[in-house]
Structure 1
Amino acid sequence: MVFDYFDKYTFLCEMYDENADEIVDLVLNFFPFDNSVQIINSRKGKNLLKRVQLSPLKLEMLQIGNIVNIYSKLLYVKDCAPVTRRTLFSNVQSTFALIKPVPSSSHGKIITFIMKKGFRIVRMKNGKISKDFAMELYKSIAGNNMLPIIIDYVTNGEVIGLELVAPDAVKKWRQCLGATDPLEAAPGTLRQLYGDNKVQNVAHGCNTQEEALQMLELFFGYDKGIPRIPFRATFKDCTCCVIKPHAVIEGNVGSILEQISTSDKFYISAIAMFSVKLANTEEFYEIYKGVLPEYEDMCIHMAEGKCISLEVKCKDPSMNCVCEFRKLCGPRDPDLCRQLYPDSIRAQYGKNIIHNAVHCTDLPEDGELEVEYFFKLMANN
C-alpha cells in the first residue's frame, strides 16, 4: 500500500499525568508514510508532541485497548476516529477458538499457525471444561450420535481457549480450521495439518458472532469474582516465565511455547494472557529497583501491551526448576546469548536487554511467588 505524506490515522487516548494526578485525554495522530506520530492535548488544544518519526511504534500496536509507549509515556488507546475505524477496523470482530486436548508439543505450532493467518490473540488461557460448557459449545450438533464421544474427549483433557480478533473473524476462523474430518479438509488448513480424525481434529470454531460472544463470556468471564473456568496454576515446584509484549506483537509466542514444551526437561502447567498496569510492573520488578539501571524501562515495556504468563515445571521433580529454566532462557542480554548460548530463547527472540523476549524468575525461592503474582493477584484484578 502506498501512503501520502498527509495520510493519518487518529486515535483517542488517555494518559495518567503523575504531576497533576489526573487522567489526560489525548489525540494521537499516526502518519504511516514515514511512521511519524503527533500527540495533541484535546482539552487545551495544544501539541503535546509535534510530528516526529518514531520507528519503534508500529501500526499493529495501535489497537483499541492496547497501551503504547511514546517517549516513556504510556498512552491507553481507548477509541479511534470514524474514518480510522472504517479504514482499519472495518468488519473487525472477535471469535472464540478452543484448542482441543492435543499433545502440548503441538500447542506452539497451532498458535504460530493462528498468528500467521492474521489473527490477533487478545485473550488466552488453558483450563478444563465441564460437560455443561461442552454441551453449550456443541449445541449446534445436538442429536448427532457422535456428540457423547466428542463431549467425553474435550472434557477429559486440558484445552486452551482463545479470543481471536480479525476482519470477519468468525467466518475466517472456520475457513482456517477446514472440514470436520481432517481427511476431507483442504490442504494447508489446521485440521488437515494436525488433525487425526473427526473427534480429535485439533480445534473448534463457532458458527455465529452471537455464539462466539457467548462462549467468550463463558470461558473468560467471572461469576461473583471467581473465574468460570479456573486458572490451572498449582503454585508448587514451579518457575515463572512471562512472554513480553514485543514478542507477542512480533508473533513469536508459538515458537517460544514450542521450545519450552518440546524440551526434555520442562512442561507448561498454566498459561494466561494479561494486561499489566505500570503500577503492577513496578511492584513485580521491585527486587530490581536500584539494582538494574534498566529497571524503569523494564517496567514500562511490560505495561506496553499484552503479555503471556506461564507456570513452568520440571518433568523431573528433583531438579531445581528456577535454575534449570534460566539456562533455557539464557542471560538477560540477547547479544551475549547469541555468542554463548545461541539456542536459548533470548538469543533467538530477544532484541536487547529490555526487549529480551521473556522474563524468568531469578531466585529459586521466588518461583512460586512470581507465579502467584500473575495467577492469583493479576487474575483477580
Structure 2
Amino acid sequence: MAADSERYIFEAEWYDKVSFTLKKFYLYFFPSDNSVELFDLKTRKTFLRRSKCNGVESKDFYVGAMVTIFSRNIKITNFADQATKKKLSSKRVKTYVILKPNIINKLGEILKTISDYDFHISNLRMGQINLEDANEIFESTSDKLITLIECIIAGPVILLVLLSEDTTVRLQKLTTTFEENSISNGIYISDNKDEINFFSSEENIKQKIKSSAKLQNCTCCIIKPHAVQAKLFGPIIIDIQKANFIISAVEQFYINSVNSEEFLEVYKGVLPDYAAMVSELQSGVCFAMEITHSDAQLDIVSEFRKFCGPMDPEMARQLRPNTLRAKYGKTRIQNAVHCSDLSDDGLLEVEYFFQILNKN
C-alpha cells in the first residue's frame, strides 16, 4: 500500500448538542498528511470529506482516545477493521505501571520523566487497593507476591497506562533513569499477562482502585487540555508538590460538552469567556486533582487560588510571576489550570469529579 493511501479505520462517536443525539461514525485517519474523514453510520453518507486536521498526530489515535476534529470532540470506541487493529497493536504497546505509596510525593518528577521518553499516558488513576482486591489482581505474581502486596495496600497508589512505540527500548531507558534517581523500588512495571489483561479493563480499574479523595479540607485543580497536550503536567505537579500542597486524589478525565457546561455553569452570564472556557475543557484529556494540605487550619481554597495566580497569564506574569498561570499559561482561556474560586466551591468541585463523574 502506498504511503499516501495508508489509513487507519476506527469506530467513533460524537455527541451533537444541537440535535441532542449521539452520532456514530467510521473515522479514517491518513498518517501521511494527518488528514481525517468521517462517515456517518446512520445516514450512510460521508459527514466530513478527507481534510487535513491541524493538532492531531498518529499517536493520538487509539481505542479510548478523544480527538478534537474541527472543534468536535470525537471519542474512538473501537477498531473498525482487523488491519487497523493488527497494525496498531503491533506498533503501539501498552505498559502498566503502579506507583507505590512511598513514591507519590515524587509524582511530578515521575510524570515528567515518562513524557520526556515520549510515553503517552492513556490512563491515570490514584486510589486505594484493599487486601482482597490486591490478592486477586496479583495472585499469579507468586515470586514477589507478599512484599508487593504489602507495599500496594499501605496507602494510595497510582496506576499509569502508558502507550508507546519501540516500547522495549523506551522501557529500558526509563527504568535506568528511575534506578539512577533511586526511585525504582517505588515503581512496579507489570509484565505479567494476567495483570495486563486485568488492567486492560476500565471497569476493573474503577472497581478495584477506589478513589483516594478525602472530600474534606480540599480544593480542586484541573490541568487543562492544552497544558496536558503540551506535556506541562509534570512541571505543574512538581511545582504543586514543592509548594507543600498534597495531591490526595488525581485522575485523568475526558469531559464531554454537557459535563463541561454543567461544571462551569457558575461562570455563565458572569464571565464573557464562558463559551470559550467550555470549549477548552472539553477539547481533550485533562487531569483533575483534589488538593489538600498538612495544616488543617489553612484556608486551602484561598491559598491554592493565590498559588495559581490571576486568570490572565499576562497579568500574572506582571503581578505574580512565580504562580502556575504566569509560568505555564498562554491566554485567559488556555491559562494552564482551573482552580476553585470560592471556599464552598472546593469540596463541590472535587465531588463533581471524584463522585459524580466517577459513577458515569
Which TM-score band applies after superposition, normalised by the shorter structure?
A: 0.7 to 0.9
CA spacing shift, 1:351–1:59, aligned 2, 3 Å = farther
Q: Aligned residue for 1:158?
A: 156
Shift of 1:150: 4.5
Query: Which moves more between the two structures, 335-344 or 239-248?
Result: 335-344
Q: Superposed, which structure 2 residues align to 1:160-199 within 5 Å?
A: 160-167=158-165, 175-176=172-173, 178=175, 188-195=176-183
Q: Give distance in 1, aligned partners of 2:158 and 2:180.
A: 19
Q: Aligned residue for 1:204?
A: 188
Aligned length: 358
CA spacing shift, 1:251–1:326, aligned 2, 3 Å = same
Q: Give distance in 1, aligned partners of 2:41 and 2:53.
A: 21
TM-score when scaled to structure 1? Answer: 0.80
Q: Give distance in 1, aligned partners of 2:113 and 2:297.
A: 35
Q: Aligned residue for 1:257?
A: 237
Q: Aligned residue for 1:234?
A: 214
Q: Aligned residue for 1:357?
A: 336
Shift of 1:317: 2.4
Query: Which moves more between the two structures, 160-169 or 81-90?
Result: 81-90
Equivalent position to 2:198, from 207, 214, 223: 214
Shift of 1:250: 2.4
Q: Aligned residue for 1:69?
A: 68
Query: Which moves more between the two structures, 369-378 or 103-112?
Result: 103-112
Q: Aligned residue for 2:358?
A: 379
Q: Give distance in 2, aligned partners of 1:19 and 1:218.
A: 30
Q: Give distance in 1, aligned partners of 2:25 and 2:142.
A: 50
CA spacing shift, 1:337–1:141, aligned 2, 3 Å = same
Shift of 1:305: 2.5
Identity of aligned residues (%): 35
Q: Superposed, which structure 2 residues align to 1:41-190 within 5 Å?
A: 41=40, 44=43, 47-80=46-79, 82=81, 84-85=84-85, 88-136=88-136, 139=139, 142=142, 148-167=146-165, 175-176=172-173, 178=175, 188-190=176-178
Q: Is the 8 A contact 2:301 2:340 kept in 1?
A: yes
Structure 2: give runs of 5+ residues left out of the alignment.
Answer: none
Q: Give distance in 2, aligned partners of 1:318 and 1:71.
A: 47
* 1:130-176 deviation digits (Å, cap 9, x = unpaired): 334444555556366xx64554333323321222233475x568635
SS of the residue aligned with 1:189?
Answer: helix
SS of the residue aligned with 2:118?
Answer: coil
1:368 paired to 2:347: yes
SS of the residue aligned with 2:243?
Answer: coil
Q: Give distance in 2, aligned partners of 1:132 and 1:176.
A: 34
More helix per residue: 2
Q: Is the 8 A contact 2:127 2:158 kept in 1?
A: yes
Q: Give distance in 2, aligned partners of 1:271 and 1:140.
A: 28
Query: Which moves more between the two structures, 349-358 or 77-86?
Result: 77-86
Structure 1: give runs of 5+ residues left out of the alignment.
Answer: 179-187
Query: Which moves more between the two structures, 352-361 or 59-68?
Result: 59-68
SS of the residue aligned with 1:114?
Answer: helix
What amino acid is the match of 2:156? E
SS of the residue aligned with 2:333?
Answer: coil
What amino acid is the match of 1:232? S
What amino acid is the match of 2:287? I
TM-score when scaled to structure 2? Answer: 0.84
Query: Which moves more between the two structures, 294-303 or 231-240?
Result: 294-303
Q: Is the 8 A contact 1:294 1:354 kept in 2?
A: yes
What amino acid is the match of 2:308? C
Q: Give distance in 2, aligned partners of 1:215 and 1:62.
A: 20
Q: Is the 8 A contact 2:120 2:163 kept in 1?
A: yes
CA spacing shift, 1:347–1:208, aligned 2, 3 Å = same
* 1:257-312 deviation digits (Å, cap 9, x = unpaired): 11111113x11111122222221111110001122222223223322332211110
Q: Give distance in 1, aligned partners of 2:317 and 2:333.
A: 16
1:332 paired to 2:311: yes
* 1:1-42 deviation digits (Å, cap 9, x = unpaired): xx9776655544322334444333334444555555444445
Shift of 1:99: 0.7
* 1:227-269 deviation digits (Å, cap 9, x = unpaired): 33321112111110011222223222222111111113x1111
CA spacing shift, 1:151–1:208, aligned 2, 3 Å = closer
Q: Is the 8 A contact 1:174 1:205 kept in 2?
A: no
Q: Is the 8 A contact 1:218 1:228 kept in 2?
A: no
SS of the residue aligned with 1:201?
Answer: helix
- RMSD of aligned C-alpha atoms? 3.2
